[in-house]
């Protein structure tokens, strides 16, 4: 089957910018404190719930995957960009990183204790998001948690350069209520949300949503 063109553009763009991304994007230790707190809360909830692994989907160079592992969570990373996966494997040889797309995961049903989608869904055209969130629901174990974090708003950007290099991906920033609605339609129950306005280490409006897949009745 032919790959949707947005996936090809995202893969090519992140292959191009991967090394510059690592240089320019601050590591987790320099992230804004509230986002770090959401990651810590997510890690604690996953650890408390049971032994399942967390998939960091759109893991990029693997720094957040490693941050979660440092918080005691068995975590692995998946990314569309082979270059990002290569950087992640080199930086964190003890962790598992694979190439793949969150639109069709190579993971069985009900397997994961948690999913982290951290600034990795905003290149997905909105009409594809129901498919992505259906994959999250399919692969999460009942009771498993999702932490989603990303830019929000009402904008469609077509940048030509990012991180000092040419890119061809597009970015879609959607209202947080819309994202909550999509997760709800996918059968994921949102129980906490954090919204931040620009300022300090926060460059654009962003939000974190914590959700879970309900236990079977
Ligand atoms: C802005 S970076 C964020 C990386 C990482 N989560 C972090 O916070 O450092 C977005 C990443 O998501 C990946 N990505 C975007 N769409 C994806 C998809 N459909 N499946 C897997 N990875 C994807 C890109 O290749 C890129 O590495």
Write out pLDDT tens, residues 81-122.
999 999 999 999 999 999 999 999 999 999 999 999 999 999
SS3 45: helix
Is there an atom of ligand 1 within 6 Å of 141 CB?
A: no
**pLDDT value for 50:** 85
Q: What value does the mean pLDDT of the chain take?
A: 96
Write out pLDDT tens, residues 125-170.
999 999 999 999 999 999 999 999 999 999 999 999 999 999 999 9
- The mean pLDDT of 188-216, rounded to a whole number, is 92
**pLDDT value for 217:** 61
Angle, helix 33-49 to helix 63-70, in steps of 10 degrees: 60
**pLDDT value for 39:** 98
**pLDDT value for 169:** 98
d(CA 122, CA 119): 7
**Residue 115 Cα distances to 6, 12, 71, angstroms:** 22, 24, 15
Is there an atom of ligand 1 within 6 Å of 123 CB?
A: yes
The neighbour count for residue 202, using CB atoms within 10 Å, is: 15
**Residue 211 Cα distances to 16, 139, 148, 183, 208, angstroms:** 33, 14, 8, 8, 10
**pLDDT value for 2:** 87
Categorise residue 67: left if φ over 0, alpha if ψ from -120 to 50, beta otherwise.
alpha
**Ligand 1 pocket mutation, candidates 86, 120, 123, 208, criterion most atoms within 8 A of CB:** 120
Is there an atom of ligand 1 within 6 Å of 102 CB?
A: yes
Tell the residue nearest (CA) to atom 26 of ligand 1: 60
SS3 217: coil
**pLDDT value for 139:** 98
């Amino acid at each position: 089957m032919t790959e949707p063109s947005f996936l090809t553009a995202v893969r090519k763009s992140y292959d191009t910018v991967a090394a510059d991304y690592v240089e320019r994007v601050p590591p987790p230790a320099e992230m804004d404190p509230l986002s770090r707190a959401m990651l810590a809360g997510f890690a604690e909830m996953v650890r408390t719930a049971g032994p399942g692994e967390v998939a960091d989907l759109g893991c990029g160079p693997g720094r957040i995957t490693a941050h979660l592992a440092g918080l005691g969570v068995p975590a692995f990373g998946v990314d569309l960009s082979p270059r990002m996966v290569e950087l992640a494997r080199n930086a964190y040889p003890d962790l598992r990183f694979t190439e793949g797309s969150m639109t069709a995961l190579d993971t069985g049903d009900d397997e994961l204790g948690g999913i982290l989608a951290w600034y990795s869904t905003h290149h997905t055209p909105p009409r594809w998001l129901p498919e992505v969130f259906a994959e999250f629901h399919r692969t999460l174990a009942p009771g498993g948690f999702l932490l989603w974090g990303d830019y929000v708003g009402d904008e469609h950007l077509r940048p030509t350069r990012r991180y000092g290099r040419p890119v061809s991906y597009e970015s879609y920033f959607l209202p947080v209520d819309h994202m909550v609605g999509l997760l709800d339609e996918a059968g994921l129950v949102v129980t906490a949300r954090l919204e931040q306005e620009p300022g300090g280490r926060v460059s654009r409006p962003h939000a974190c949503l914590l959700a879970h897949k309900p236990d079977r009745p």
